[in-house]
Amino acid sequence: MLRKTTVLKPADVQPKWWVVDAEGMVVGRLAARIARVLMGKHRPDYTPHLLCGDYVIVKNADKVVFTGKKWEQKEYRWYTGYPGQKVETAEHRLQRRPELILREAVRRMLPKNKLARRMLARLKIYTSKARIDPVIRHQAQKPQPFESIVW
């Protein structure tokens, strides 16, 4: 019996929309699952060179948790263009821009290639203080609960 490898074409990809409530979830574990869905590795027809992942809507991103003492010890660094770097703790970042905690964790788990930016654009992150409920905002896309994905 001859088996053939199926290779998707861009027109064959039909992305789905998933919604996840991040309240009480550990950042790294949640980011790993989201990155897997954005890449499309949860699909049986995964093709590495195509954008075959799905869209992910994250709500309550400001209620994620870290294990251990990471709120005080984890540091985010970035270059400003001046000598030295800016540094802030995870606790300070949670107060300032809580959606960046999860976005950076997911970004660093995506492949380092040209598709990564397009994959990350499919991630929609909302805090609990959002003016409009994210499920209502994206109801035309008919998002499904994240837990229903077969891993």
Q: In percent, how much of the chain has pLDDT > 90?
A: 83
d(CA 48, CA 120): 15
Rg (CA), the chain: 17
d(CA 146, CA 148): 5
Q: What is the pLDDT of residue 66?
A: 97
Using pLDDT thresholds of 50, 70 and 90, give the confidence band for residue 116: very high
Q: What is the pLDDT of residue 150?
A: 62
Q: What kind of fold does domain 15-67+97-148 have according to CATH?
A: Ribosomal Protein L13p; Chain: A; (3.90.1180)
The answer to whether the CB of 59 falls within 8 A of the CB of 96 is no
Please determine, for residue 92, whether its predicted confidence score (pLDDT) is greater than 80: yes
- Amino acid identity of residue 124, one-letter, is K
User: Could you give the C-alpha distances from 89 to 18, 51, 69, 93, in angstroms and in order?
Assistant: 30, 33, 11, 6
pTM of the model: 0.92
Domain boundaries, the chain: 15-67+97-148
**Partners of residue 26 on adjacent β-strands:** 65
